[in-house]
Structure 1
Amino acid sequence: MANVPSIKLSSGADMPQVGFGLWKVGTDIAADTVYNAIKAGYRLFDGACDYGNETECGQGVARAIADGLVKREELFIVSKLWNTFHDGERVEPIVKKQLADWGVDYFDLYLIHFPVALDQIKNSKASIQETWTAMEGLVEKGLAKSIGVSNFQGQLLYDLLRYAKIRPATLQIEHHPYLVQQELLNLAKAEGILLRWATQRGLAIIPKTTRPALMTANLESTNFDLASEDLEAISGLDRNLRFNQPSNYFSTDALWIFG
């Protein structure tokens, strides 16, 4: 099994630097995919309420634990708060439902999925401060060991940091050679927030595949170094091209969070 390095979060938790992404893993294969990924050596699993497969992913975890492949405390399970649950009183109930779907007592890391509050597909009046305060309550009640944010941009991060009692442990963003977001990386590094390119640049990554051979190859991505000129060449591919944004998934002409 690959020896995956870990990164110390601001919360004090150790997070594996290479994890397994569960976005678009179908419910018909999710349990087997998670089980096989654990067998291959993955310990971090990145899920979300919106992915619609948390129950099946939990079944894969339960089978792996029952078969003695892993213990719960050896796993780092990540999930996310969807946009329609940002109101303070809705956060804890949905987290408890998600925990029940996974069949676990706590999340190792829980994230605000997108920096926008919705009531169905209409804007909700819940502020990020209200939502973050409810997220901090999850830590106090032991429902999440670490909390963080996803798809936030610089201005909103600065705003959150003004009132946060618990600073976000991670910032999960879309990051690839065509979308480098270097200034956002600089901000997060300066503020001590970990980001999830490339492990050699100090980030954690969450690749996804259903093929066991590629699972192993992805897990071993920290076992070699690229030459500095290769890193610079990859960074030079930046086109500010974004594949993941809410308007790709539901009809809206008033939700431009990356504008």
Structure 2
Amino acid sequence: MSASPHFLETADGGAFPSVGLGTWKIPADVLPDLIPTAVEIGYRHFDCACDYGNETAVGEGLKRVLDSGACSRDDLWVTSKLWNTYHHPDHVRAACERSLSDLGLDVLDLYLIHFPVTLAYVPFEERYPPGWFFDPEAENPSMKPVRVPLADTWGAMEGLVGAGLVKRIGICNFTTGLIRDLQAYASIQPQVLQVEMHPYLTQQRLLRYCQEENIAVTAFSPFGASSYVPLNMAGENESVLADPVVTGIAAAHGRSPGQIVLRWAVQRGTVTIPKTQTAAHLRENLAIFDFELSGEEMGSLDGLDRGRRFNDPAEFGEAAFNTFYPIFD
């Protein structure tokens, strides 16, 4: 594996690009052009999911890249995720194959359990992606939780590796306790944990545990509130990018606040997946490997921790989907 700071090594020796493009909330009509632009700029890592509802558009962009010879499939890292309605072992493979078909790929570099949330199955022909509601047309629509043991879901995920559909498997939005439980019975250990992580939610203990267990960590929502203000899940005054500590360090380095936050994420040993729809920001977000933050600056950013989680099913589940479903204590 390359020793470049542009990569984080996974447990199997894979070269996991340290900065990827997150595709959540990027419109489908933008992605077929955005993906080739990102590859031209230097991106090789694309973070996708069934629930984002845009994997077909990502697939169109990837096809353009591969057809043009801009890079080979082996140069790309594509992640997708198992949605909450497909946790039963009977549905895991079909869900993975649907994502592969939409993305136009034969194999995923990484497949993650999106949430430790198990919801009633919704057939593809009824609704895809199914979202959080069981019956969105009901008078008072809600989620429909069901009980599926994590061990059963993980066993089916392991089967995907054996079938050659995915190279690696991992988890999202898991706590240390859930990870420990999973490790106790997993034949294939999780190689990656993806969680919300930014200076207002540093998750130091979780990060340390994963690093000691050789589980690579991907930080989603690295800019904190930015993605959540339009969803009424964060306030305008909660922007990490406007924090005086961040802007002060940015001024000292002649960098943008976003670059400082991304540099902090990579320098502490995580992969990060900022999203953007513009070429200018694609370039800016990738231009973080030609400077370093001092130990004092890293400590100052660590010290911003508020335990502020923006993506919390206990909060948005009740507010938007009429269902209280906590996964974090």
Q: Quick one: distance in 2 between partners of 1:178 and 1:10?
A: 28
Query: Is the partner of 1:126 in helix, strand or coil?
Result: coil
Question: Is residue 5 from structure 1 mapped to residue 72 from structure 2 by the alignment?
Answer: no
Number of the residue aligned with 1:160: 182
Query: Is the partner of 1:198 in helix, strand or coil?
Result: helix
The within-5 A match list for 1:174-189 is: 174-189=196-211
Following superposition, the deviation at residue 10 of structure 1 comes to 1.2
Number of the residue aligned with 2:298: 231
User: Which residue, 164, 167, 172 being the options, matches 1:142?
Assistant: 164
User: Which residue, 239, 243, 259 being the options, matches 2:310?
Assistant: 243
Which segment is superposed worse, 27-36 or 89-98? 27-36
Following superposition, the deviation at residue 239 of structure 1 comes to 0.8
Number of the residue aligned with 1:194: 216
Query: Is the partner of 2:321 in helix, strand or coil?
Result: coil
Distance 1:69 1:25, change over 3 A: same
Query: Is the Cα–Cα contact under 8 Å of residues 4 and 219 in structure 1 kept in the other structure?
Result: no
Question: Is residue 204 from structure 1 mapped to residue 271 from structure 2 by the alignment?
Answer: yes
Q: Deviations over 1:34-85 (max 9, x none)?
A: 1211111100000000000000001001011111211111110000001010
Query: Is the Cα–Cα contact under 8 Å of residues 45 and 77 in structure 1 kept in the other structure?
Result: yes
- Superposed CA RMSD in Å reads 1.3
Query: Is the Cα–Cα contact under 8 Å of residues 6 and 17 in structure 1 kept in the other structure?
Result: yes
Report the TM-score when normalising by structure 2.
Answer: 0.76
The within-5 A match list for 1:15-164 is: 15-119=16-120, 120=134, 121-164=143-186
Unaligned runs of 5+ in 2: 121-133, 135-142, 219-263
Q: Quick one: distance in 2 between partners of 1:12 and 1:136?
A: 18
Q: Quick one: distance in 1 between partners of 2:323 and 2:180?
A: 26
Q: Quick one: distance in 1 between partners of 2:303 and 2:55?
A: 37
Q: Quick one: distance in 1 between partners of 2:43 and 2:278?
A: 13
Query: Is the Cα–Cα contact under 8 Å of residues 21 and 207 in structure 1 kept in the other structure?
Result: yes
Q: Which amino acid aligns with 1:225?
A: E
Distance 1:223 1:252, change over 3 A: farther
Q: Quick one: distance in 2 between partners of 1:158 and 1:144?
A: 23
Query: Is the partner of 1:195 in helix, strand or coil?
Result: strand
Q: Quick one: distance in 1 between partners of 2:277 and 2:14?
A: 28
Q: Quick one: distance in 1 between partners of 2:82 and 2:149?
A: 14
Give aligned-pair identity as a percent: 44
Q: Which amino acid aligns with 2:277?
A: T
For these two proteins, the number of residue pairs brought into alignment is 257
Query: Is the Cα–Cα contact under 8 Å of residues 37 and 212 in structure 1 kept in the other structure?
Result: yes
After the TM superposition, list the runs of 4 or more consecutive aligned residues in structure 1 that deviate by more than 4 angstroms. Answer: none
Query: Is the partner of 1:143 in helix, strand or coil?
Result: coil
Following superposition, the deviation at residue 4 of structure 1 comes to 6.3
Query: Is the partner of 1:142 in helix, strand or coil?
Result: coil
Q: Deviations over 1:121-176 (max 9, x none)?
A: 21122111111110000100010001100000011011000001111011001000
Query: Is the partner of 1:233 in helix, strand or coil?
Result: helix
Q: Quick one: distance in 1 between partners of 2:161 and 2:322?
A: 33
Q: Quick one: distance in 2 between partners of 1:212 and 1:248?
A: 31
Q: Which amino acid aligns with 1:258?
A: F
Number of the residue aligned with 2:282: 215
Q: Which amino acid aligns with 1:219?
A: L
Which segment is superposed worse, 131-140 or 117-126? 117-126
Give the greater-gyration-radius structure (CA). 2
Query: Is the partner of 1:111 in helix, strand or coil?
Result: strand
Q: Which amino acid aligns with 1:37?
A: A
Q: Quick one: distance in 2 between partners of 1:103 and 1:170?
A: 23
Following superposition, the deviation at residue 208 of structure 1 comes to 1.2
Query: Is the partner of 1:173 in helix, strand or coil?
Result: strand
Q: Which amino acid aligns with 1:64?
A: V
